[in-house]
Structure 1
Amino acid sequence: MFRLDGRTALVTGAGRGVGAEIALVLAQQGAHVAINDIDRGRAEDSVSRIEAAGGRAAAVVADVTDAGAVRAMVAQVAAELGPIDILVNNAGLPADGMRMLRFEESTPADWEAVLRINVYGVLQCSHAVLAGMRQRGWGRIVTISSDSGRTGEARMAVYAASKAAGAGFTRSLAKEVGPDGITCNTVSLGTIQPPGTATDDERLATHRRRYPTRRLGTPGDVAATVLWLASDTGSWITGQTIPVNGGYATS
């Protein structure tokens, strides 16, 4: 049901964590996967993991906020693996990668880094792949977001705004390109278990208690949802924000 044979996927920010797991799962279902990361070592590690599992992948190093670099990346993927059928916009500045500030204490310099990668990165990559998808009459764009964009979080106003912007863009784009056989969806995440931490780590106990499932998410939880949306099984799902959050936010 979920096979992706003959498809080429580009997963941004796929050198580690959620992105790396998404890339692996897509490759396991037969897709050729381009691993984007700004760090070549991380990208190549992810490629090695896929190849060891019998899949095909290539590392493509690019800053997703740079329009020229993104266009060059898309051309490189087409030359090495084939035209891009599936784009997963996973690259982003994580919440733990930004300063937690009351909005009135922040400055435009604080906002810039967040908006450039979480908003412009999504726009740049989506823009670069659309013409080819439209020409071929098939495409999938999946953007990884955060429940902070749906519920809001104190001291994270700009981060939440950037995630809400990505989801709004995706809903609007879905209406533009649906007639061309392209679906566009957002996957909205709760807290994902940090790599290298035990599931019973007491530091995470407070987080776990906020979830009805009493556990945090895993990269595998996210990857399974992305696979569903990327496959033909998800062909009638578009313009949606799919929560993968253990029941944290239900509205």
Structure 2
Amino acid sequence: MSGSLSGRGSLAGRTALVTGGSRGIGRAIALAFAREGANVAICHRDDTSAEKVIEELRAAGAHAIEIVADVSREDPVLAMFAEIAETFGTLDVAVSNAGILREAPLLETSAADFDAVVAVNLRGSFLVCREAARMMLARPETAPAGRIITISSDLAFLGREEMSAYSASKGGIVSLTRSLARELAPRILVNAIAPGPVDTDMTSAETMSAEALAKDLATPLARLARPEEIADLAVFLAGDGSSFVTGQCYGANGGSAMY
């Protein structure tokens, strides 16, 4: 992993990819990385708000680009990493954050619904992690290669009625993270963040039922997290302070799940 080359900040001189980086947790992580000196590529499926995020990243001093890609499909993911290689030449940190949520009773969840959630959340994480590792391991073997951070959920551990597909996909991400941490050590450190309820457009009255939102507030801290609180943890995992941490899943969840 390349060290600080210029400027100040714990990630100065490094290059990071954040999928789902145009809004919510992904946007907060991308901005936090930029403020710590990183150059940042954000990926989104087709979000008009991405242009505003790019402006914010550049205002923070980052060399920033946006890439339109559906992470559930292999060819767009391969093209994304080719563009990162062409633009930056290297990759130090990859955050697999892109995800979707669908809430429905089991008996009203079609196989297509289940497949759609798993395709983005779990298959997308697999593809992004695989290609990030491929790019990082192309460096000389004498050099540390990089950091991979996946985004799971407290529901990977708790489960939630009427959210079986989402919970299953996030549980798969935890297992994927642990397996990759063993396989890619010592050159790549792989860790997960499992947020609890976060104040984003994914957890709103438009996307979730009132009952589900009430459950999200039923934690010891009794509030939603701010996206920036998740981003602070991502900065730690991307930086030098986490040099002896791999295969872990950090529950930034307000106490909803304790493990």
TM-score for both structures, normalised by structure 1: 0.90
Q: CA deviation at 1:213?
A: 1.7
User: Does the CA-based 8 Å contact 1:74-1:84 persist in structure 2?
Assistant: no
The one-character-per-residue Cα deviations of 1:158-214 (angstroms, maximum 9, x if unpaired) are: 2111000011011001000013x10111100111123598xxxxx798457512123
Q: CA deviation at 1:112?
A: 1.0
**Structure-1 separation of matches of 2:109 and 2:217:** 30
Matched letter for residue 157 of structure 2: R
5 Å-filtered alignment, 1:108-187, equals: 108-136=111-139, 137-179=144-186, 181-187=187-193
Partner of 1:100: 104
TM-score for both structures, normalised by structure 2: 0.87
Matched letter for residue 119 of structure 2: R
Matched letter for residue 81 of structure 1: F
1:248 aligns with one of 231, 252, 256: 256
Residues 1:2 and 1:234: Cα distance change in structure 2 (over 3 Å): farther
Q: CA deviation at 1:144?
A: 0.8
5 Å-filtered alignment, 1:72-83, equals: 72-83=79-90
Q: Which runs of 4+ in 1 moved over 4 A?
A: none
Matched letter for residue 138 of structure 2: Q
Partner of 2:32: 25
User: Does the CA-based 8 Å contact 2:225-2:253 persist in structure 1?
Assistant: yes
Q: CA deviation at 1:130?
A: 1.0
2:236 aligns with one of 214, 228, 231: 228
Matched letter for residue 196 of structure 2: G
The one-character-per-residue Cα deviations of 1:93-128 (angstroms, maximum 9, x if unpaired) are: 13xxx1421x24422111110110011100111111
Residues 1:40 and 1:156: Cα distance change in structure 2 (over 3 Å): closer
Unaligned runs of 5+ residues in structure 1 are: 198-202
**Structure-1 separation of matches of 2:99 and 2:172:** 13
Q: CA deviation at 1:66?
A: 1.3
Partner of 1:200: none
User: Does the CA-based 8 Å contact 1:2-1:233 persist in structure 2?
Assistant: no
Give the superposed CA RMSD: 2.0
5 Å-filtered alignment, 1:45-84, equals: 45-84=52-91
Matched letter for residue 124 of structure 2: G
Instruction: Report which of the two has the higher share of helix.
Output: 1
Matched letter for residue 116 of structure 2: A
